[in-house]
Structure 1
Amino acid sequence: MKQFIGDRAIVVGGSIVGTLAARVLSESYREVVVVDRDKVLGVREVRRGAPQAAHAHAFHSRGFRIVHELFPRLPEELERAQVPVPDLGEMRWYFNARLLRQTKTGLRSIGALRPVAEDILRSMTAALPNVTYREETELVGYLADAGRDRIEGVRLRGSAAGSAAFDLHGDLVVDATGRGSRTPALLERFGYERPPESRMRIGLTYTTRLFRRPPGVLEDTQSVNPVASPAHPRGAFFGRVGPETCILSLTGILGDRPPTDPEGFLAYAKSLPVPEVYEAVRDAEPTTDAVSFSFPASVRRHYERLTRFPDRLVVLGDAVCSFNPVYGQGMTVGAMQVMALRERLAQGTPPDSLGLRQDVAAAVDAPWAISTGGDLDFPGVPGDRTPEVVEGNRFLARLAAAATEDPVLTEAFLKVAGLVAPPDSLMSPDVVARVDRHVAA
């Protein structure tokens, strides 16, 4: 007979990270309740609580490996939904308007619209016998013991006007409510300090539109990605997300906002440093209006630095760290944090609060360094440009130039971007020698 750690775990937030957390908690608690303020089950449209879902998203290779481990049926479900599962190395990546040499790497990604990916994962989680979803239900506050040292549940209220608040007790509470997490304010009511924050102001705007895929477009690759750089600060993600549907997300930084009107949207696409994206969509049939989403700053909350924090409360995902979305790290880093929770639960006891907070922080460290270091390559982004950051960006520019000729370097770079290999792997003697050889040629 299976031994459970506790009777009930509560997950607040039913998006990607909350869904993965519920899947992991189902192994250790008799009952798992997922709470979300929106209707989420069976939903494949952008919903009020996740407006960013309208824009291009990706599970990097490490994220794909994690969700496949948690959901062995994932490939069959993706195939049933006609979702592309591309090799990262066979996409077309442009850095400084130059195409990286394409190569098969075995590094897989999920080429789905985010609401579709969420629904696939959520449906498999909701089918578990001990997982229940409470939709259209809002978090009011946390319940604590008399000493306020331990969280013992949540106070909830239905989203409908006039709904009465009610209490739901649990042995563990997970905050997966995203960037707008109210945990710092809610814990402040109990006398706790707010976590210190790190910020990287970038002034990013995404503008996205879906198109019917024109004949011949994206037949030999899943996506075309002109990545923004200081020399070419306008970027885009253009990819096939279904048999006849493609998504184009245009990006602008430091207040440069891709327009939503049809003429302005196409003019912005035409201004990209490579013509391929504009030529693909200029005569394509749009299937949605263009929508914009602003991302002022990357924000990291350092819960691991707090000397006092209540037991039986776990904070994951964007509630801990929300990254510049152009790096596509958020969902994968959230999945890594969920696996850190799983490892703690595998010890057969409720997770140690400080130990888990340190594990979650460790999952954030390298991706945070990658994204903030890359952002600091743009002269207008405020921040401390240490010698390590400056030299690192110089080397990455040389590596990208060399990778236009050397597929081994493409693979090495994508392993780091896909969070499969650590950043310092790019400084291995073989990689450095290859870069030097190609740049000198």
Structure 2
Amino acid sequence: MEKADRERVIVLGASMAGLLAAHVLADRYADVVVIDRDDLAEDDYGRAHNETRRGVPHGGHLHNLLAAGLLALEDLLPGITEELTSGGAVAGDGTADVRWVVNGTRMPKPRSGLPLLSVSRPHLERRIRRRVRALPDVTFLERTETVELLTTPDRSAVVGVRVLQGDTHRDLTADLVVDATGRRTRTPGWLAELGYPVVEEEQLVVNVGYTTQYYRLSADRTPAEVSIDVGGSAAVPRGALWARIEDGCGVVTGYGVAGEYPPRDTAGFHDFLKSLAATDIYEAVRDQETLGEPLSYRFPANLRRRYERMESFPDGLLVIGDAVCSFNPVYGQGISVSALGATVLRDHVSRPGPVDPRAYLADLAARAVDHVWELTTGADSAFPGVGGEPTEEQLAEYAYLDRLLDAASRDGQLLVAYARVAFLLDPVAALVAPEVQEAIEQALGPADRP
């Protein structure tokens, strides 16, 4: 399709989802306008790892690129992995170069071939934003707020947005508007004002609190792995992740569920790390030089907006990223889901004719959201105080997963099977495949069977 067939698209939000959407759309639209409230030029030059911009208040915390997300990102932006590693990001194998501690047990480290890239959120975002800025048909409108949608007289289609720049309102028309403004999106309210049905929402309250501390790594005291993951559990609802990142730095994010929040001072934070199911991360950082003060953030609930279930939806409007579904950040899925969503968007804008929003939203749910929502809410519901009393079915699922992880501590290939699901490459159902169940039985033996 020639670009002349489609003139302008507006992307609301220069989030990771917005940047990837803009890159995809630049192949199909003659003019791509990205609108954001922040001063992004300031963010492009000199912001430190632990400094966050207004639009990304959690940007200083540890962010993961899961294998599926990294593969999608490389597909969308060929060569980005090499570009990031040349700038200091640390690459490795998703199981061989990670020390996983599950239920207090150190897991084996089999080589899986699953790609791993450890990088700070500011470094990743800057590199991708520079790529998008370099595209000749992309324009950024910074320090600009979107105040409402513009529609046709019958409100059946969105035809642009009204923005506020300083004290001046301005109307921008477009063939398509893509909302990538994140969890606090105004689209549900705008749709209600236009007479559309209320967007159905699903929530699972988790009340996660997390604290992050950066370190200058000392070569003689730095673990060999790219990262260490001491997971929380129902018995110990606290955990932490350590990772090597660019500039010879390391970062630790500690988290607690249902009020088990990490302290906001370095000494208290180190005591928190010592209290986990294993002290591996505490031992890795207790003598390292700290950089800046700890950062803290609170996350109330997993939140999903069911746009795909709406009986009517205006043409000319799409939604992507956290504006559709916001996941517990402990699992590091948000950027990966944004990358997967951008591949769905690419497929739909590559088809001839106007984009069908309902078809896109249904496809987005099926290909980028459903699996992750099931995975995240299932894991969170296992924590005490989350999701109410578990059903018998849930209890059976928790018992099976505990048994699988126990077996995985003895059989590295079972850990790889688990990692493929956690890294969003395989569905949850893969963990109950006959060959997996057989491997569990072989690993545990009769004495360990319930």
The alpha carbon displacement at 1:217 in A equals 3.9
- Taking a change above 3 Å as real, the CA distance of residues 27 and 383 of structure 1, as seen in their structure-2 partners, is farther
Instruction: Report the AA paired with residue 26 of structure 1.
Output: A
Correspondence for 1:351: 355
Q: Provide the residue aligned with 2:7 in structure 1.
A: 7
Partner of 2:240, secondary structure, is: strand
- 1:421 alignment partner AA: D
Q: Which one of the candidate residues 357, 365, 373 is aligned to 2:378?
A: 373
Tell me what 1:260 maps to.
264
Q: CA deviation at 1:86?
A: 2.4
Is the 8 Å Cα contact of residues 6 and 171 (structure 1) preserved in structure 2?
yes
Determine if contact 1:141/1:155 at 8 Å carries over to the other structure. yes
Match of 2:442 in 1: 437
Give the 3-state SS of the residue equivalent to 2:117 in structure 1: coil
1:223 aligns with 2:230: no
Shift in Å, 1:3: 4.5
Report the RMSD for the aligned CA atoms in angstroms. 1.5
Determine the C-alpha separation between the residues in 1 that align with 2:407 and 2:195. 54
Q: Name the residue aligned to 1:30.
A: 30
- Cα separation, 2, equivalents of 1:254 and 1:290: 20
Q: Name the amino acid aligned to 1:10.
A: I
> Offset of 1:9 from its aligned partner?
0.6
Residue by residue over 1:314-357, the C-alpha shift from the partner in whole angstroms, topping out at 9 and shown as x without a partner, is 01111111011111111111221221111111212222111111
| Structure 1 residue 381 displacement after superposition | 0.8
Quote how far apart the aligned CAs of 1:387 are.
Answer: 4.0
Instruction: State the secondary structure of the residue aligned to 1:347.
Output: coil
**Do residues 56 (structure 1) and 48 (structure 2) align?**
no
Aligned to 1:65: 71
Change in 2 beyond 3 A, CA 1:260/1:389: same
CA distances 1:274-331 after superposition (whole Å, capped 9, x unpaired): 1111112222111121111000110001011111111110011111110111111111
Instruction: Please identify, of 72-81 and 312-321, the stretch whose mean Cα deviation from structure 2 is larger.
Output: 72-81
Contact 2:3/2:30 (8 A) holds in 1: no
Letter in 2 for 1:124: R
How much has 1:260 moved relative to structure 2? 0.8
Partner of residue 103, structure 1: 110
Contact kept, 8 Å, 1:5 with 1:350, in 2: the verdict is: no
* In the alignment, structure 1 residue 175 sits paired with structure 2 residue 182: no
Separation in structure 1 between the aligned mates of residue 142 and residue 389 of structure 2, nearest angstrom: 43
Displacement of 1:392 after TM fit? 2.1
- SS of the equivalent of 1:82 reads coil
Tell me the secondary structure at the aligned position of residue 146 of structure 1.
coil
Contact preservation (8 Å) 1:204, 1:251: yes
Looking at structure 1, the residues matched to 34 and 388 of structure 2 have their Cα atoms a distance apart, in angstroms, of 38
Residue 209, structure 1, aligned to residue 213, structure 2? yes
The 5 A counterparts of 1:290-309 are 290-309=294-313
- Maintained 8 Å contact 2:69/2:337: yes
Distance of 1:333 and 1:384 partners within structure 2 = 29
The aligned runs of 1:281-430 (5 Å cut-off) are 281-362=285-366, 363-383=368-388, 385-430=390-435
**Hey, what's the Cα distance between the residues in 2 that align with 1:387 and 1:347?**
45
Give the match's secondary structure for 1:52: coil
Which segment drifts farther, 94-103 or 342-351?
A: 342-351
The Cα shift of 1:261 comes to: 1.5
Q: Which amino acid aligns with 2:374?
A: A
Q: Check whether the contact 1:337–1:359 (CA below 8 A) recurs between aligned residues.
A: no
8 Å contact from structure 2 (residues 3, 27) kept in 1: no
- Contact kept? 2:157, 2:316, Cα under 8 Å: yes
Q: Secondary structure at the match of 1:89?
A: coil
TM-score normalised over the length of structure 2: 0.94
| 1:92 equivalenced with 2:99 (yes/no) | yes
- Distance in 2, Cα, partners of 1:75 & 1:54: 21
- May I ask how many residue pairs the two structures share in their alignment? 438
